[in-house]
Chain A
């Protein structure tokens, strides 16, 4: 009999305990309910969900919150492009302005054979670590170290190391800009997705010096500047750069460049994946 009473007491107290806790939680859920703007989950759903941080917020949910608060534009998501911007703008009840789709481009053409080495680096396989050691293994102070710090930060798996330098696969690149921030040499740039033409060098040394450590570095000969009919390409700080608002993608500078470092989508056969110069020269 005593056993039965014990069991009944246990049953009684646990039903009470469970019931009290359950009711307390139910009440707490009502009392402490936080009002969430119903647009936030809707927008979060429309965003790509990669949480890449390309917009400057910690993730897609954080961006959705910022959009609803009015801190960010509906077109702030660089990955989603205009399709997402339209959908988000529809939820917010405003008209979208189309974002320019960007892509990352590694501004270096100095592969293993072409760029001279300062020393043989055998440390941690990381560009930031290598850049602390006399600026990395390559003599060029603005050359791609090629140890793949950009590869490891890319949330879309769009970057590969090919023959000592990073190459971006544009079919995968969403233009989030993580690699741009990560590169210790600051030689990855975001360019418009349909830019068509870019200068594959960021060497700001004088021509003779550049020539001494890289076979393809920009020697600031200004051939491209003279060839360009629309005035889009200029040599400043001993390196050519293109103003994409003026560039007509005529491709004349690509042909004229004696160092073959002005690249175009056509010259780079498979979009951004191959950097084989012999194949190119043969054409």
Chain B
């Protein structure tokens, strides 16, 4: 039993650092570049993704193993997962608005945006690919979203610095942001090859 939990911890550590969604799997690049102007908004987006990804990992795992596998419909997993994630986000939005208005206000526009975040679908599909059980799926979903949050917050911090720098005209804006992103990705590649 103890070994099982140690494995879960290592799985999470791997998902956050070694197999970071943005820097080694290249998932969720769109919000990574889109909402990383300020650390505050980046953190808001990060928390929203963590929230949705944990819940969607659980929901997609359940649907896959309780409906798709018994009826041999595994080939339809992508469509089913998109359906589930989209409705789940809608549902969470309504729920938060009613019961936790403070959190709803804090997440704001980022919540509906997550519907189209490929990292959420990616986590659901990878869970199935790696044959994770329910607890592992939950842990993996949460940890990879935490890795996403880490990446986007670090990047937002770098972009704040960039805004005060004076790069050549042709590099201003997105180009210099891309270069900065690739430099951070190189730093994260220092973790690659580590296996727990």
CA distance A13 to B84 in the complex (A): 13
Tell whether, in the assembled complex, residue A14 and residue B79 are in contact, meaning their CB atoms are under 8 Å apart.
yes
Q: Which residue of A lies closest to B91 (CB)?
A: A28
When distances are taken between beta carbons in the complex, the residues of chain A under 8 Å from B90 are: 25, 28
- Which stretch (B31-39, B92-100, B129-137, B138-146) binds chain A? B92-100
Tell whether, in the assembled complex, residue A6 and residue B72 are in contact, meaning their CB atoms are under 8 Å apart.
yes
CA distance A217 to B164 in the complex (A): 32
B 65-97 binary contact with A (CB < 8 Å = 1; else 0): 001100111001001100110010011001101
Tell whether, in the assembled complex, residue B83 and residue A10 are in contact, meaning their CB atoms are under 8 Å apart.
no
Q: Is residue B3 contacting chain A, with contact meaning CB distance below 8 A?
A: no
CA distance A256 to B150 in the complex (A): 63
Tell whether, in the assembled complex, residue A32 and residue B97 are in contact, meaning their CB atoms are under 8 Å apart.
yes
Q: Is residue A94 contacting chain B, with contact meaning CB distance below 8 A?
A: no
Q: Is residue B63 contacting chain A, with contact meaning CB distance below 8 A?
A: yes
Q: How many inter-chain residue pairs (CB < 8 Å) link A and B? A: 53
Q: Is residue A129 contacting chain B, with contact meaning CB distance below 8 A?
A: yes
Tell whether, in the assembled complex, residue B164 and residue A18 are in contact, meaning their CB atoms are under 8 Å apart.
no
Q: Is residue A21 contacting chain B, with contact meaning CB distance below 8 A?
A: yes
Tell whether, in the assembled complex, residue B91 and residue A9 are in contact, meaning their CB atoms are under 8 Å apart.
no
Tell whether, in the assembled complex, residue A29 and residue B73 are in contact, meaning their CB atoms are under 8 Å apart.
no
CA distance A65 to B166 in the complex (A): 41
Q: Is residue A124 contacting chain B, with contact meaning CB distance below 8 A?
A: yes
When distances are taken between beta carbons in the complex, the residues of chain B under 8 Å from A124 are: 164-166
Tell whether, in the assembled complex, residue A32 and residue B87 are in contact, meaning their CB atoms are under 8 Å apart.
no
Partner of B164, one of A24, A25, A34, A129: A129
When distances are taken between beta carbons in the complex, the residues of chain B under 8 Å from A29 are: 94
Tell whether, in the assembled complex, residue B79 and residue A34 are in contact, meaning their CB atoms are under 8 Å apart.
no
Tell whether, in the assembled complex, residue B63 and residue A32 are in contact, meaning their CB atoms are under 8 Å apart.
no
Tell whether, in the assembled complex, residue A13 and residue B71 are in contact, meaning their CB atoms are under 8 Å apart.
yes
Tell whether, in the assembled complex, residue A34 and residue B73 are in contact, meaning their CB atoms are under 8 Å apart.
no
Tell whether, in the assembled complex, residue B94 and residue A17 are in contact, meaning their CB atoms are under 8 Å apart.
no
Q: Is residue A126 contacting chain B, with contact meaning CB distance below 8 A?
A: yes
Tell whether, in the assembled complex, residue A25 and residue B76 are in contact, meaning their CB atoms are under 8 Å apart.
no
When distances are taken between beta carbons in the complex, the residues of chain B under 8 Å from A9 are: 71-73
Q: Residues of A with Cβ closer than 8 Å to B?
A: 6, 9-10, 13-14, 17-18, 21-22, 24-25, 28-29, 31-34, 124-126, 129
Q: Residues of B with Cβ closer than 8 Å to A?
A: 63, 67-68, 71-73, 76, 79-80, 83-84, 87, 90-91, 94-95, 97-99, 101, 164-166
Additional 5 contacts, C-beta under 8 A, given A25-B87, A124-B164, A125-B166 = A9-B71, A10-B76, A21-B84, A28-B94, A28-B95
Q: List 10 A-B contacts (CB under 8 A).
A: A17-B80, A18-B83, A21-B87, A24-B87, A28-B91, A32-B95, A33-B98, A124-B164, A124-B166, A125-B166
